Structures are given as structure tokens and as C-alpha cells.
Amino acid sequence: MKTLKNKTLFITGASRGIGLAIARRAAADGANIVIAAKSNVPNPKLPGTIHSAAAEIEAAGGQALAIKCDIRKPEDIAAAVSAAVERFAGIDILINNASAIYLAGTLETPAKRYDLMHQVNTRGTFLCSQACLPYLQRADNPHILNLSPPLNMNPRWFGPHVAYTMAKYGMSMCVLGMAAEFREAGVAVNALWPRTVIATAALAMLGGMVKPEQCRTPEILADAAHAILCRDSRDCSGNFFIDEQVLAEEGIDDLERYAVKPGTELMTDLFLE
């Protein structure tokens, strides 16, 4: 049986949403989870903190290490990685999940929003990968998994929100480049993206254009990520996976269990035709 038991996962932005769902799924196997996120105290606008996430992970059967970490700061990343290695003696898997979104045109995107997306999405992914790779190269079956879309140069994905697309595609370009760079070292680097919009706190950033009942739950990405992370890293790298595709390969084709409201028409996510 495929399992992540005793594996150590370093997950950015794991205090809520998709990151937390992936953490809970791995914890059910008995994995160690490093929760690297900014949410140290409760926020009335956003549910969950690194501490509440740690409690959920331990209740699910895993071990948790909650670390306040702003991935825009290299010193925070270095300290988080050091603490993870000190606690769990290594890192087997990195999940680059933390992301910032602002869907607006060029004239409507303030510099601070542009900077935030690029600092968190592209730069944060690069720096976290850079910091974890020395340990991943020593691990058995090491994986990096970025929550980012397949690269699609259709202008329709750039025109409405070029700044966000550039930042999100930056994460995908890390997959393209690092998969090639670390293939001989046996480190798998892949991307995972949902076929439909996922019901998370990020929906609020879409201005009401998507209703929760048109979405699936984060658990579909958690199950897909689990399947990818259990694969042989030397035979599974450089892929831009879609959640439905991964689950179909695992023999799972009944996806109604993941719908927020079963039977409702779902909205296809960004960057997918």
C-alpha cells in the first residue's frame, strides 16, 4: 500500500485550504508535517492559524511542527528549514503551496499587489526550493510539488490579469527548469492544478464571480497530491498534473464526493481550456 508514513513534508501556506488538506492527508499515513505559514494569530477574515493546523494534523495521526514563516524573507525560510531538519532529521517532500492572487488588468494592479504576487508565488517558490534541495537530495524518494498550472501561452490567460499570470507561471517555470536540473539527482519536481475551482478563502479574491457550490473541496487536490508523492521520484518528474487525471490513473473516477454541492455544474479553473 502506498504510504507517506514517517516522511517529512515541508508545506508552505499550510495553515488553511489546500495546503492544510494535503497536510491532513499525509498525516493520516503517519507523516511529519512542517507548517510554514504567516498565520500565527487568528484573523477574523481568514480561518486557521499554524497552531490550529498543527492540532488538526496531530489529530489526523501525524506529527506537526508549526513555524511562523514569511516566504518573502530568506531569513525566515532558512530558519524554518533549519528547525524542520533539527526536529525531523531531514526533509523528504516540499509542497510549494503558498500563493497570492489579484485578478486585475495592468492599469488596475497597484505596485504593492504586483510585488506581493511575485514575491510569494515565483520568488517564494524558488527560494523555498533552493533551501530544501540540499536535504531533498539526501532523501529517499524526494519530491517537490508546486501548486501551479500547466504553461499555456494562449493570450486569453494573460490579457485579463497579466501580473497574476506571470507570477503563477513563474512557479510552473520552476518546475520546468528544476525538473531538468535535478533529474540526475533523483529529485522529482512536478506541478499540480485543479480542473475546477476549489472552495478556499481565495474565492473572496474573485469578487463573487464564483459561488462555492460551483467548486470542489480541497480534498481532491490532497488525494491527487498523495498519489503523486507516493510515486517513484526517478520516474515521475517534470509533469504538469491535473487532479482529475491523477485520480483517474489511480482508478478513481467517481468525483462527486469532492463537490461542495453534488449535482451542481462546476466551474473550470483558470489556465485550462
C-alpha cell at 185: 539527482
* AA letter at 32: N
pLDDT of 184 above 70: yes
The percent of residues in the chain predicted with pLDDT above 70, rounded, is 98
C-alpha cell at 72: 518573502
Average pLDDT of span 230-249: 98
Buried b (16+ CB within 10 A) or exposed e, 158-193: eeebbbbbbbbbbbbbbbeebbeebeeebbbbbbbb
Distance of alpha carbon 207 from alpha carbon 218, whole angstroms: 20
Distance of alpha carbon 20 from alpha carbon 56, whole angstroms: 9
The answer to whether residue 164 is catalytic is: yes
pLDDT of 211 above 80: yes
Indicate the pLDDT class of residue 209, thresholds 50, 70 and 90.
confident
Q: In Å, how far are 212, 243, 255 from 261, measured between CA atoms? A: 8, 18, 12
The percent of residues in the chain predicted with pLDDT above 90, rounded, is 92
pLDDT of 161 above 90: yes
pLDDT-wise least confident of 20-34, 48-62, 190-204, 247-261: 190-204
3 CB neighbour count, 10 Å cutoff: 13
Average pLDDT over the chain reads 96
Q: What confidence score (pLDDT) does residue 41 get?
A: 86
Indicate the pLDDT class of residue 43, thresholds 50, 70 and 90.
confident
pLDDT of 90 above 70: yes
Render pLDDT for 110-146 as a digit per residue (tens, 0 to 9).
Answer: 999 999 999 999 999 999 999 999 999 999 999 999 9
Distance of alpha carbon 148 from alpha carbon 211, whole angstroms: 22
Is 259 in a helix, a strand, or coil?
strand
What angle do helix axes 124-136 and 74-88 make, rounded to 10 degrees?
Answer: 30
CATH class of 8-258: alpha beta
pLDDT-wise least confident of 19-23, 182-186, 206-210, 218-222: 206-210
15 CB neighbour count, 10 Å cutoff: 29
* AA letter at 204: A
Beta bridge partners of 11: 35, 95
Q: What confidence score (pLDDT) does residue 205 get?
A: 65
Indicate the pLDDT class of residue 45, thresholds 50, 70 and 90.
confident
pLDDT of 203 above 90: no
Which of 102, 114, 135, 164 is catalytic? The answer is 164
Distance of alpha carbon 222 from alpha carbon 233, whole angstroms: 18
Q: Alpha helix locations (H) across the chain? A: 17-27, 50-60, 74-88, 111-117, 124-136, 162-181, 219-229, 243-249
Average pLDDT of span 59-65: 98
Indicate the pLDDT class of residue 201, thresholds 50, 70 and 90.
confident
Q: What confidence score (pLDDT) does residue 228 get?
A: 98
pLDDT of 1 above 70: no
Average pLDDT of span 81-94: 98
136 CB neighbour count, 10 Å cutoff: 26
- How many CA atoms within 13 Å lie on the side-chain side of 55? 4
Integer-rounded Cα radius of gyration of the chain: 17
